[in-house]
Structure 1
Amino acid sequence: MPESVIRPARPNEYDAIARLWMESWCSTGLETPSDKLLELLQERVPREVAGGWSLYVADDDGRLAAMLAINLPRLYLDQLMIAPAYQGRSLGRRLLAFTHELLPDEVWLRCAEGNEKAWRWYEREGFVLEKKEADPLHGRIMKYYRWKRESHDTR
């Protein structure tokens, strides 16, 4: 079975990307899938792309396996979401390597404190916690991370 292809997202995929985002996010146990959440994400995807996201998908022969949203000018990895059926297959590592190709010297991200599986993974991948603070929109405590290429790093 061939590997998923990482490619730019297409506007006609935005609703499917929003659904993947919801399913991945809800797989953390921090929220429950709902029509309201899906609608919010469906509205957010095109707005974020217009606001600076470079949006990519992992395409598994026509099925969306993951989404990756990066704000290149801000050096910010905004979303890395893996569809539940594709979790645990090293796809996150591939997407992070792709992110490092686009942002080779520094990457910032934030992660919900309650999403322990994700923030522990980012820490194993070399990200360093910079701060914690409550998100003003939903009140959830967010952990802000930074990865910076070390002078001897050969990525």
Structure 2
Amino acid sequence: MTLQIEVLADGDFRDVADLWYQSWLSTGAEHGEGVTPDVLERRLRGEPWDIWVARLDAKVAAFLAIDRKDACLSQLFVAPEFQNRTIGRRMFELAQREMPFGFWLRTDESNTGARRFYERKGLECECIEAGRAYYRLRPKP
């Protein structure tokens, strides 16, 4: 299987929104009412993010969204069927290359899988507020 990481193309919005929705549901974290793939697709189109997709044999397997202005890793989701195959690690490494001076992110406090992943990558949990864990990756000196 060949993994390709590329900038989001116009034709990818629906596939990425579906992946985001299914991945989000798979975390077991609480989700707001009214969140649907349509809502997520509108968000993908409207946010000031740079977005990449990872394709495994042409199927969208993961996506990464960063907000450079805010130095934020906004979204990193891997489709449930493609987890534990180093795809998340490769997308995270892309975020590090794109934001070499460090960045922050937030995830649901109850998303223990994501929290373990980020902590293994060297992020520090700065605080937990209203069910969200806020992390920061500081640049290496």
TM-score, normalising length: structure 2: 0.92
Deviation, structure 1 residue 129 = 0.9
SS in 2 for 1:105: coil
* Residue matched to 1:27: 26
Identity percentage over the alignment? 36
Is it true that 1:100 corresponds to 2:96 in the alignment?
yes
The gaps in structure 1 that reach 5 residues or longer are: 135-140
Cα separation, 2, equivalents of 1:11 and 1:31: 30
Alignment RMSD (CA, Å): 1.7
Mapping for residues 119-134 of structure 1, pairs under 5 Å: 119-134=115-130
Deviation, structure 1 residue 31 = 5.0
Is it true that 1:117 corresponds to 2:113 in the alignment?
yes
Cα separation, 1, equivalents of 2:124 and 2:79: 26
Q: Which amino acid aligns with 1:85?
A: E
Runs of 4+ residues over 6 Å off in structure 1: none
* Residue matched to 1:15: 14
Deviation, structure 1 residue 35 = 8.5
Deviation, structure 1 residue 53 = 0.1
* Residue matched to 2:133: 143
Describe the superposition over 1:45-71 as per-residue Cα deviations: whole angstroms up to 9, x where unpaired: 1111xxx10011001232101010000
SS in 1 for 2:28: coil
SS in 1 for 2:43: helix
Cα separation, 1, equivalents of 2:34 and 2:132: 24
The gaps in structure 2 that reach 5 residues or longer are: none
Q: Which amino acid aligns with 1:146?
A: R
Q: Which has the larger radius of gyration?
A: 1
Cα separation, 2, equivalents of 1:71 and 1:107: 9
Q: Which amino acid aligns with 2:75?
A: Q
Number of matched pairs = 140
Deviation, structure 1 residue 124 = 1.2
Deviation, structure 1 residue 75 = 0.9
Judge conservation of contact 1:57–1:64 (CA < 8 Å) in 2.
Answer: yes
Describe the superposition over 1:69-119 as per-residue Cα deviations: whole angstroms up to 9, x where unpaired: 000121100000001111010111111111111011201100100101101
TM-score, normalising length: structure 1: 0.84
Judge conservation of contact 1:25–1:31 (CA < 8 Å) in 2.
Answer: no
